[in-house]
Structure 1
Amino acid sequence: MKEVKLDLINLILVAVLLIINLQNNMPIRVQNYYNPLIKQGNNITLFQKENNIQEIRQFSPILNDYPEFVSPVNPGRRFLGNPLVSDNNATLAVKAWYFSYHAGGVVEATNLLNKDKTAIIMVYPHSTNNWDSGFFFGTQEKNDIYIEHAKTVLKPFLDHFNSKVRLVGYSLPDGLMMIETAETANNKINLYNIRDYHKFKRYLQLEGIEHVLLCGYATDICLKETMAGYANLRKDFNVFIVGDATLATFPASESPAGPTGMALANASLENLITQVSWIQEIE
């Protein structure tokens, strides 16, 4: 009984200190949050293992640029943390976020990437759920939305950053991988048959890749589970899912916005999420 009372007193004291802390707008100290998501060479750097994060008081919704394709994220509470990746001679500033139950909200930070260590990987839709049709997204109507998204968001993103990263890879069905680098410009693309993730990983590592900007289709299936999906890549590289350059499947909805937003929210528990407008060149 004494131990129970002591625990209750400790909880009350912690709550009081937290309230005072918030009222004074002081940094909130988050300790021992273990989430091995960021790779630095062969060493894992932990997401905010022990770090000061400052609550952001005023903010606009996340992923608010293309609400017709992705529902904006309104997490309630947002915090600003230190960069998780900071390369020497950085050429790209990539603002990104993840959701932390430990912190009680979204934690975001601006990361500094060297383009020579960065790849863009686009995943093509391999299949949609269990429906064998002539359309990647299952029906003509859904395919039209997917094509419009590719024209409006994805292609401009790829066109703009194609020459600003070390390489661009296109993960195709049946283990095919198209790789475009600075040395294979002018539509000269190398085509590889890579069904084994470990071979793909080795290829990227030999190219000096440490960071991956991941985009394509579909957020909830192929972008996650295929050979070049984030479930594999996050084990060996710093993965930034470009949230508005992807669409989820939307079988019971006329719009992909809600399903895509939910797929990204779930992915944010174990991955960094960015968006096209948050990826900036450093002059």
Structure 2
Amino acid sequence: MPRAIRPVGLVLLAILYLAPARAEPPESPPSEPAGARPIFNGRDLAGWDGDPRLWSVQDGALRGETTEANPADGNTFLIWKEGTTRDFDLRLTYRCSASNNSGIQYRSIHAVQGNPRNPWVVRGYQHELRNEVDLPSVAGFIYDEGGKRGRMCLVGERATWDAEGRKTVADGPLIDQAAYRSLFRLDDWNDVVIIAKGNRIRHYLNGRLIVDCTDADPQSARREGILALQLHAGKPMWVEFKNIRIAALDPSGSSRVFENRLTPLADPPPLLADYPEFVEPVRERNRFEGPRLVDDTDADVSVRAWRFSYNARGVVEMPNRLRASQTAVIMVHPWGIDDGQGWRTPEPAGVCDFCTVEKNHLAARHTREVIDPFLKRLRGRVACVMFSLPGGRDPIRAKLYRSIHGRPTEAERRQGAAELTERLGAFSYGGEPLLERFDVSTDLPVIDYFKNFPGVDASPRYNGAGFWDLPIPVTRDIGVDPADVVIYDAEGYAPLRRFLKEQGVRHVLLTGYATDMCYCRTTAGYENLADDFNVFLVGDATLATFPANDTPRYATNAHISYAALNHLVTQISWVVLDEQR
């Protein structure tokens, strides 16, 4: 894109035409932060993940190499697995061959693909690495790897991408051809410093500022993502890195004063009133509107959340605004027993999932009529739609669903579906027979009774031996898209957090039809996610599941108020997309 030139007089234009612009005085990087830490140990690839055929450690340097006999299957990356980059100061030393180019990815996305030969694909900001001295194809420019903006800031430019996606370049280059030729150490080690803070990114080479970019494009700018090192496809090449250190920086504007002013709402409608067949509306009239907690730049999703407040003696509502591209939707425990055909009718002593026939049918209806349309509305707009399931990533479900590790082929999906039908169809869902007689004390018979019949018992006595080892699928009442991601409780929270950060997620909408325990304490539960993301519990019947009744509305104000004390809750209808975007 051509540089933006301000209107000036004819005399000045003539001078600019006759005399090339002078480069600005050299600017050195700031001192290395005290909190900088090494992220490469100089001995092995601990903390990094990439194609083991192409990456190794030689003489204390991290080395990537392709040959005619051992090529890369497309651009491939060595991914740092022990953190993400948001506002940071990164310093390293590199050298590479002149036959091809490499790069340093930051604030990037790990693009999980179905190519089993190259699962290390990364998209986002790239600091170009080359062994050349002729501008503009030299080390240091910012390249939009996998994006649409290409070489988004060349060496020597002080550039800005504005809110309309237009690029302008300030007058006066940071460095010119002669200075760059003198600065770069051809066929030798070169020092790189990358500093990203807010929407401003600066690249330094051998102690001099060579790129200064401000990215205010709301559609393409990224504020957080992974760090990775590139091996380029094509001609054989090698690249080496050493002395890799990183420090997190305090972002400008990282905090703000929250003006907690509450405005009374006159005659508000009942809460949770959209689906009265599934949940008892909450007729709380002492309601207030508070200011937005989350108000993203260029937001395209409205999430009107509420919570009970003792201090306000009522319900406080907040009209938050999010970016869909930075939002994940996670459905908690959408269990589908009997090969996803619905829940089996429980036997007297053998329970499957929700314990009662009425509750099973109610859960299936709510999932089919409320949650599935909600997911369909957001799918393709949000960063990802996900489902959390009990157990681990077993061979059958690995063939059925995309996970944080990869995506199955269509052939694998068909094979997995057949194996699932066989496995679940062969299982006996009956529990052990009811106890006919047992001892209770004369003074405390009630507690003795419940010791034999606890209210929630996930043991073989009630579910049948091996029930929790089954490859429990996503219920058939949800139309799972091949791009949706399934996560497993047994894998723990750390991989889920890393995956969400790699996708650039800042906000999580938790939905489903599960107990408070599932929403709070499982891998994808609120207690894990809330320390790293803005979390909203979404749905009219997600907060209480006991007991079923014949209305069939069953959620009570007591259940809702208890859950809403420490969470932000929103109705399905209160999550609204700006469809014009």
**TM-score bracket, shorter-length normalisation:** 0.7 to 0.9
Deviations 1:19-58 (A, max 9, x none): xxxxxxxxxxxxxxxxxxxxx9999979x95421111122
Deviation at 1:261, TM superposition (A): 4.9
Matched, 1:64 2:273: yes
Provide the secondary structure at the position in 2 that maps to 1:87. Answer: coil
Structure-2 residue corresponding to 1:141: 358
Matched, 1:87 2:296: yes
The 8 Å contact of residues 167 and 180 in structure 1, kept in 2 or not, is answered as: no
1:174 to 391, 414, 417: 391
Deviation at 1:249, TM superposition (A): 2.2
- Matched residues in 2 for 1:69 and 1:165: separation? 26
1:213 to 509, 516, 526: 509
- Residues 45 and 97 from structure 1, CA distance in 2 versus in 1: closer, same or farther, beyond 3 angstroms? farther
- Matched residues in 1 for 2:514 and 2:268: separation? 29
1:201 to 497, 505, 508: 497
The 8 Å contact of residues 512 and 539 in structure 2, kept in 1 or not, is answered as: no
The one of the two structures with greater contact order (alpha-carbon pairs below 8 A, sep at least 6) is 1
- Residues 112 and 138 from structure 1, CA distance in 2 versus in 1: closer, same or farther, beyond 3 angstroms? same
Structure-2 residue corresponding to 1:122: 331
Provide the secondary structure at the position in 1 that maps to 2:573. Answer: helix
Matched, 1:97 2:338: no
The 8 Å contact of residues 388 and 486 in structure 2, kept in 1 or not, is answered as: no
Paired AA for residue 384 in structure 2: L
Higher mean displacement: 250-259 or 222-231: 250-259
Paired AA for residue 276 in structure 1: I
TM-score (norm 2): 0.37
The 8 Å contact of residues 245 and 276 in structure 1, kept in 2 or not, is answered as: no
Deviation at 1:112, TM superposition (A): 0.7
- Residues 188 and 101 from structure 1, CA distance in 2 versus in 1: closer, same or farther, beyond 3 angstroms? closer
2:368 to 151, 176, 189: 151
- Matched residues in 1 for 2:315 and 2:255: separation? 19
How many residues get paired?
239
- Matched residues in 2 for 1:206 and 1:89: separation? 21
Higher mean displacement: 110-119 or 241-250: 241-250
Deviation at 1:125, TM superposition (A): 5.4
Deviation at 1:132, TM superposition (A): 7.5
Report % sequence identity: 41
The 8 Å contact of residues 511 and 542 in structure 2, kept in 1 or not, is answered as: yes
- Matched residues in 1 for 2:553 and 2:576: separation? 24
Provide the secondary structure at the position in 1 that maps to 2:539. Answer: strand
The 8 Å contact of residues 119 and 211 in structure 1, kept in 2 or not, is answered as: yes
- Matched residues in 1 for 2:482 and 2:378: separation? 15
Structure-1 residue corresponding to 2:555: 259
Deviations 1:142-172 (A, max 9, x none): 2111111111111111111112211011001
- Matched residues in 1 for 2:379 and 2:317: separation? 25
- Matched residues in 2 for 1:244 and 1:163: separation? 23
Paired AA for residue 510 in structure 2: L
Higher mean displacement: 240-249 or 141-150: 240-249
- Matched residues in 2 for 1:235 and 1:255: separation? 38
Structure-2 residue corresponding to 1:187: 482
Structure-2 residue corresponding to 1:108: 317
- Matched residues in 2 for 1:117 and 1:280: separation? 15
| Larger Rg belongs to | 2
Higher mean displacement: 251-260 or 149-158: 251-260
- Matched residues in 2 for 1:225 and 1:254: separation? 30
CA-based RMSD of the aligned residues comes to 3.3
- Residues 56 and 197 from structure 1, CA distance in 2 versus in 1: closer, same or farther, beyond 3 angstroms? same
Provide the secondary structure at the position in 1 that maps to 2:491. Answer: coil
Structure-1 residue corresponding to 2:76: none
- Residues 255 and 199 from structure 1, CA distance in 2 versus in 1: closer, same or farther, beyond 3 angstroms? farther
Paired AA for residue 114 in structure 1: R
Higher mean displacement: 244-253 or 60-69: 244-253
TM-score (norm 1): 0.73
Q: Can you give the 5+ residue segments of structure 2 that lack an aligned partner in the other structure?
A: 1-222, 225-249, 338-347, 408-479
